[in-house]
Structure 1
């Protein structure tokens, strides 16, 4: 239990220390040391506990719950004040509604409740702790150097770095608390802390756009918070002793008892995971500094949403409500992948790619078979690593070149060769074999084939996967295209950033290399304990993966041997003479410059066009799940 309490308490202490510090060197030293300690503690938990199965701890319920309730009311007062100050009256009403539900529970229903198993860990919790502890900490280290450059580029933004790092480490502590809590009241408390932290970080710049987007995220997540609070009240009325507030007891109680709270909490998961029609908040969050985007997408906010839905997968499995939730994820996967085609802003491509992959995880968890839960957890792992790498690479490129537009990344392999190679690995990790995202999607196809309505899900996955190949490959082509112009500007990138980017690149490759160990040591035991069955990749496929990884590793090391005797060929323009700066004689003898641009098909895949169809469809699917829920209650 000491390891769990340490991972929750230590980042909280560091957060308050950083709130008091203004010296950047001291801040970096503390953040780097804290990141090392948190990562080491996460690895220690893995090394000492992965074989122990599920372990529950008895922690005094009442004192901790009272303190959490007091903090929740303090957060509500803060949000009410900010909502009134910025005239965000819908947010004010949502805060009042959620607070009223929790006040009603506290004063009318909580007496006599005494859940016992309030903290726990299992293999899934350990996986999440590794993602939070290692990736989240690396992002925090990267952010020290990034935020210094950020304020140099944005002198109009008030320097609130002490507050920024305070909220960042509170975010990490809240995520640890969320994945280690077996008491749903405690899960809700940490759930709301992540909502508050994301709201504060998205609005960091304090501009009108940042403020509006922060409140958009707040409003959408408050809708989920209200549903979560409703689930707690339902459980308290069904079991006044509070036993059903324990996550393991609730899931073990079966669909007859657990389906109502499972659907309500899954709805909260949909809002936090930015599934349609709630995807707008995550796209709007791109206004925040890049480390915030990396944190939200890889190790904190949206991962909390899919984590809780995966937890309830055994309850959702085989139910129409579960299929409805899965269809929301499937539609989101297909449509968000399509929208990514029409985006040239790199952060928006990453945002819609995240929304799409989260949709696939939700689809797997909603159907809820053991094979699909295996695929969902794999997707969570590989997506977290590759997406954090890509966001931080894009942030670095933006600071060096002044643009995050994909079209301006032409010839990045010439101007920033090491960074371009890292981006290449990150993009390959999202859609190429033998990296994990492609393996996970293959596992999802196998799982959907045997599931109810499987053909529909397989079809959506096939088309969405094809679209994914299109938008990733065209970006990859831009990065590795060789151009005769542009100087190498990598020398201006700080050592701290290189350490983080190199580590994440290595993790992307290592996760694919050691995927069989991750599966057999963590995911398969979790599935066996939860479902009584487990899934694994066939031995032949593992051998093929190992051979492909070997070839991928051989290729970079072979390049220096060929480069010595390599011959540079001029560009070929169908027989037209071309100068070294890529100018050629066009029709009528007019001199033109050769350029390359991607297709974006905005008229077919534009945001407005696809969202007009997808959002109403997902609303109908959610209402269908609600109607099934109402039938279960009646």
Structure 2
């Protein structure tokens, strides 16, 4: 088990080194395929071994893992050396591009880290650095399977990318793949870490990786957006290390398990600081702009940021510390920020016509729901949050990759150009349909998890004796109801667009490479497989985790929820199919003659105008920018979120929340 942990964390860094050194694209692809297979196999072996050992939480003896105490110390010093390298790198690039604020934030948090570690302020007798439980297993599988499949997809995508951009973008594929594998290795280290300082180290590595990937093209827009992502995440990192320092000095806590065992009423302020770092990493309001700006990067990096890494690091930490946030100011702050982000971003998604931007808003929205669940911090909301993470990771990775492939095939990712896509590119359309269905339709788990979250929010308000908790629960219920309605609206618009059938559209030649199809079809298969495995994942993985953390034997999914899910499946799938075979198949629906201000053409997709010219009909979506436009909604949402964060931090300090 120890060897597999070392392999999962260390091997991606070795692969990254090879990717950066080797100049041949053909050799780089071979390394990517081999590395992906090795990482996925190691993750599966890790999972099997974990359950062979009993499937319970496990701690590890570092001397057995690394050989001896001097080796452990060498790893710690290596981390210190890498931190120095990162702060120098950020400082040099900040000076080069005149973004001095990023350098100041990096220097400030590194200085605080070094003071804490080497001044004697850190408590003696640090706990174990590594820890594994069911949540760790879930995250390891997501990172290994989804993350590495994205790198396989990138092999073909980056060929097309540089072919389309020619000399506009310098070919730095070796650097691109190297950073992607560093990203994957850092995420393994983050989810396997029990030490808060180890987690913080890998946390900062992921921040720098996202900064470098977003700025890949080195255009002015890319540089501005990558520094926006950097300073926001550095600000969150400063908050995180601040929370770690307070926990260590005031409470003697240096690891996650020690944090969960502490009296939650005494550690409110440091938990707020930790959650503040998680909010920035997960691009919650008021820090959502950095993730929207990340769309300037090539599609594989967008898919990696949104599905298996970066933003998942933030919600992972929130899920971990959810039990100590429940019923406290930290939980109220996180819950309200998450609910506000879920509602605001789902409304803004209605106004977007760029496919990647819709996906970005959707990511922010779903992360908001996960964040709200973690903030409430009950067993049922944590159960829902974990399943939202699983389904969102697979679905969003599939959607980003499919939209990227559509863009290379059609030259556009504008949803308005996707009318009749099902006739032109049927296979791409159906992978897109699977991805979209996974986000909002039954029987996919996103919908079931939303229902569980809604029920938990209602129950929390009904059974609470706290006025503030009742208010928070009521607001979250409103957010999830209206946010879910707008979610249904924008996904339905997109789904109807690609499935609309225009007889004039003919099937086009598909130039997508085998490695891209491999990732797309595997993701689509996983999406469907997880639907059928949903009860087993709940029973053997998620439920044991929540039962252990909350010391509970309650049944999270009741028979009522199961009946509701079955009814949703009947209404969405069975009734339309039965209707088609009993009615529509034998009695075709009549075509209504439409008035086009001219003579209609026989195919009913155009008209002849008064000058005798044939005009084609073009359907368009309803974006409602005058109601939900970014210029109307974004700033007010930011101001409200800043007020919430400031108010809860101030209240915590005033009441002495663990200083």
TM-score range, shorter chain: over 0.9
Distance in 2, matches of 1:297 and 1:266, equals 19
Say whether 1:141 aligns with 2:152: yes
Which residue of 2 is the match for residue 357 of structure 1? 366
Aligned to 1:411: 420
Structure 1 stretches lacking a partner, 5+ long: none
CA distance in 1, matches of 2:586, 2:97: 62
Return the match for 2:443 from 427, 434, 438: 434
Cα distance in structure 2, aligned partners of 1:279 and 1:571:
46
Contact 1:58–1:116 (Cα < 8 Å) also in 2? no
Are the structure 2 counterparts of residues 485 and 523 from structure 1 closer, same or farther at C-alpha, using a change threshold of 3 Å? same
Indicate the residue corresponding to 2:188 in structure 1: 176
The CA deviation string for residues 305-329 of structure 1, in whole angstroms up to 9 with x for no partner, is 0000111101100112311221011
**Aligned counterpart, 2:225:** 213
Corresponding position of 1:8: 9
Which range is displaced more, 589-598 or 41-50?
A: 589-598
User: In 1, are the aligned partners of 2:341 and 2:365 still within 8 Å (CA)?
Assistant: yes
State whether residues 17 and 178 of structure 2, in contact with CA within 8 Å, keep that contact through their aligned partners in structure 1: yes
Shift of 1:99: 1.8
Structure 1 position 625 matched with structure 2 position 648? yes
Matched, 1:195 2:237: no
What displacement does 1:353 show?
0.5
Q: Following the alignment from structure 1 to structure 2, what is the Cα–Cα distance between the partners of residues 82 and 618?
A: 31
TM-score, structure 2 length as denominator? 0.91
SS of the equivalent of 1:584 reads: strand
Name the residue aligned to 1:459: 478
What's the secondary structure of 2:59's corresponding residue?
strand
Q: Which one of 350, 374, 378 corresponds to residue 383 of structure 2? A: 374
State the Cα deviation string for residues 34-57 of structure 1 (Å, max 9, x = none): 111111211222222144211011
Gaps of 5+ in 2: 63-68, 461-468
1:346 matched residue in structure 2: 355
Q: Across the two proteins, how many residue pairs are aligned to each other?
A: 629
Show the counterpart of 2:465: none
Give the drift of 1:441: 0.3
**Match for residue 46 of structure 1?**
47
Question: Following TM superposition, by how much is the alpha carbon of 1:90 offset from its aligned partner in structure 2, in angstroms?
Answer: 1.2
| TM-superposed deviation, 1:568 | 9.7
Secondary structure of residue in 2 paired with 1:118:
coil
Tell me if structure 2 keeps the 8 A contact 1:570–1:578: no
Report the TM-score, using the length of structure 1 for normalisation. Answer: 0.94
Q: Distance in 1 between matches of 2:131 and 2:120?
A: 25
* Distance in 2 separating the partners of 1:550 and 1:22: 54
Q: Distance in 1 between matches of 2:187 and 2:586?
A: 51
Deviations 1:514-549 (CA, angstroms, capped at 9, x unpaired): 111111111100011100124432346446757977
Q: Which residue of 424, 430, 444 maps to 2:453?
A: 444
Q: Does structure 1 residue 600 correspond to structure 2 residue 623?
A: yes
Deviation at 1:254, TM superposition (A): 2.0
Distance 2:571 2:25 in 1: 43
2:409–2:510 Cα contact (<8 Å) kept: no
Say if 1:371 and 1:535, in contact at 8 Å, map to a contact too.
no
Q: 1:28-107 to 2 correspondence within 5 Å?
A: 28-50=29-51, 51-59=54-62, 60=69, 62-107=73-118
Q: CA-to-partner distance for each residue in 1:179-227, whole Å, 9 max, x for gaps?
A: 0000000000000000010000000001110011000000000001101
* CA apart distance, 1:511: 1.1
3-state SS of 1:338 partner: helix
2: distance between equivalents of 1:591 and 1:112?
Answer: 80
Distance 2:565 2:354 in 1: 33
What's the offset of the Cα at 1:395? 0.1
Match of 2:260 in 1: 251
Alignment of 1:193-592 (within 5 A): 193-238=205-250, 244-451=253-460, 452-453=469-470, 454-533=473-552, 534-539=554-559, 541-542=561-562, 545=565, 572-574=592-594, 577-580=600-603, 582-585=605-608, 592=615
